[in-house]
Amino acid sequence: MKTYDVVIVGGGIIGGSIAFELTQRNLRVAVLDRQELMQEASWAAAGMLSPAPDSPAAIPIVPLGRASLALYPQFVAAVEEASEIRTGYRTDGALEVLCHGDAERELSTLVALHHGLGLACEPLSLEEAREMEPALGRDVRAAAFLPDEASVNPRSLTAALLTAGENTGTTLYPGVEVTSLIKSGEHCTGVKTTDGESFFAEHVVLAAGCWTSQIREAAPYAPTHPVRGQMVALRHASEPILRVLRSERGYIVPRDHATPQNLVAGSTLENAGYAKAVTSGGLEQILGAVNEFAPCLAGAEILETWSGLRPGTPDQLPILGPTDLEGLMIATGHYRSGILLAPITAKLITEWITERRVSLNCEDFSPMRFTRSNADRSAPADGSATAE
C-alpha cells in the first residue's frame, strides 16, 4: 500500500505543473501515468501563450489566461532553475493577420474585442507589419500586433518539468494506469490501478487530459472528450520569422532565430475519437493556411508531422477545483490553452489543497457545474418531487 499527501493522475503539463508547485510546499506527491510522462497533448502542442479568445465560448477563460501569462516568467524561471533545462520561452509578441473579406472592418472588431477584454492589441499599417515581419505575403490585407503574447517550446518545457519534478522530490510512476477511485463514504481516499494496486492520499487530483472521463466515477465531474490537432514542423532557409504569426485559418510558431530556422505550423480541430492520425487533408489545411500569409514557406522542408488530442469539454471551459467527494479535485479540460493555463492551474489547485480557498473566482470552471445541470434537467419544472 502506498500513501502520499497528494496523488495526481496524469503526467502531462497540468499534472506535472501541479506536482512541481505542491512539492515547493513540502507535500509528498506522486504522479501516476499509464505510459511515459509528457507524451500526449502537452508534447504535441504549438506552445503559443495567447489569452485571446478564439471563439465567444472562450471569453470566460480570458481572466484566467491573463493571470497565467503574468505568472509565466516566474514559472519558467523556477522550472529552468530546478531542471537546468531551457524551455524556449520567448516574449516577442504575435502578429494576427487578416487575409479575407472586409479586412479593415474585421481589424477594427478584433482591436475592439481585445481592448474590451483588457488585452493589448495595436493595429498596424501593412508597411509596418511587413517591416516587423518581412515574410508576410501579398494576401495579407490587415494586421495587428499583440505585444504581450509569448511562446514556449512545449517539448522543452515538459522535459524540464519532468526533470524538475524528479529533482524536487515528486515520485513519478510511469506505466501505472488508474481505473477507478477508492471511496470511503463521501470521501475519496485514493485510486486503484489496472494491476489492482491501491494508492492512498488525502487529496486526489485527476489531470488525465482527454482520458479523464474514462476513469470510473470521474465522468460526472469531468466529461472530457478528445479533439484532435495535427501539426507540422518545418525548416526554412530564408529570413527568420521573428514572432508568432496567425490568421483565422492557421499559425506559425518560430522555435529559434537561426538560419535555416525551425518552425511549427498548425493546426486542425477534429472530432476523430482517440485516433492520433496525420491525414493528407489535415496537412493540406495547415500548409494552405500558412503559405497564404507567409508564401516563402512554400519552399520549406517538412521535418516532422504529428497529432495530439486536446482535452475538450461540453462548454469548452476547463474543469478546475473540488468536487462533492471530499478529497477529490479535477484539473483538466484545458482544450486549446493547457500550455498557457498550466501555471495558474497549478497555483489554484495548490491553494485549494493548502488553504481551502482560491485567489480567483473559479465558479465558471467548477466540476460541479455538470452534476448541477444534470440535476436541473431531471428536476420537474414545478419543483415537486418525482415519484417512481
Ligand X SMILES: Cc1cc2nc3c(=O)[nH]c(=O)nc-3n(C[C@H](O)[C@H](O)[C@H](O)COP(=O)(O)OP(=O)(O)OC[C@H]3O[C@@H](n4cnc5c(N)ncnc54)[C@H](O)[C@@H]3O)c2cc1C
Q: Which residues bind ligand X (CB under 6 A)?
A: 9-15, 32-35, 37, 39-42, 44-48, 177-178, 207-209, 211, 215, 229, 231, 266-267, 308, 310-311, 332, 334-340
In the bound complex, what is the minimum distance in angstroms from residue 198's beta carbon to ligand X?
14
- Distance between CA atoms of residues 259 and 264, nearest Å: 15
Q: Give the other-Cβ count within 10 Å of 293's Cβ.
A: 26
The x, y and z cell numbers of residue 232, run together, are 507540422
Q: Quick one: 75 or 335, whose CB is closer to ligand X? A: 335
In the bound complex, what is the minimum distance in angstroms from residue 233's beta carbon to ligand X?
12
The x, y and z cell numbers of residue 56, run together, are 465567444
In the bound complex, what is the minimum distance in angstroms from residue 43's beta carbon to ligand X?
7
Q: Quick one: 67 or 126, whose CB is closer to ligand X? A: 67
Q: Quick one: 9 or 136, whose CB is closer to ligand X? A: 9
The x, y and z cell numbers of residue 140, run together, are 495579407
Q: What is the SS3 assignment for 257?
A: coil
Q: Which residues contact residue 324 at a Cβ distance below 8 angstroms, ignoring those fewer than 6 apart? A: 186, 368, 371
In the bound complex, what is the minimum distance in angstroms from residue 16's beta carbon to ligand X?
7
In the bound complex, what is the minimum distance in angstroms from residue 383's beta carbon to ligand X?
38
DSSP state of 299: G
Q: Quick one: 238 or 279, whose CB is closer to ligand X? A: 279
**Residue ranges of E strands in the chain:** 2-9, 29-33, 48-49, 94-98, 122-124, 142-146, 150-151, 171-174, 178-184, 187-193, 198-206, 225-236, 244-246, 251-254, 261-266, 301-312, 319-322, 328-332
Cα 90 to the center of its chain, rounded Å? 17
- Distance between CA atoms of residues 211 and 219, nearest Å: 10
Q: Quick one: 327 or 343, whose CB is closer to ligand X? A: 343
In the bound complex, what is the minimum distance in angstroms from residue 338's beta carbon to ligand X?
2
Q: What is the SS3 assignment for 237?
A: coil
- Distance between CA atoms of residues 176 and 173, nearest Å: 6
Q: Quick one: 173 or 385, whose CB is closer to ligand X? A: 173
Q: Quick one: 45 or 110, whose CB is closer to ligand X? A: 45
In the bound complex, what is the minimum distance in angstroms from residue 368's beta carbon to ligand X?
19
Q: Which residues contact residue 77 at a Cβ distance below 8 angstroms, ignoring those fewer than 6 apart? A: none
CB burial of 102-128 (b: ≥16 within 10 Å; e: otherwise) equals ebeebbeebbeebeebebebeebeeee
In the bound complex, what is the minimum distance in angstroms from residue 65's beta carbon to ligand X?
9
Q: Quick one: 9 or 188, whose CB is closer to ligand X? A: 9
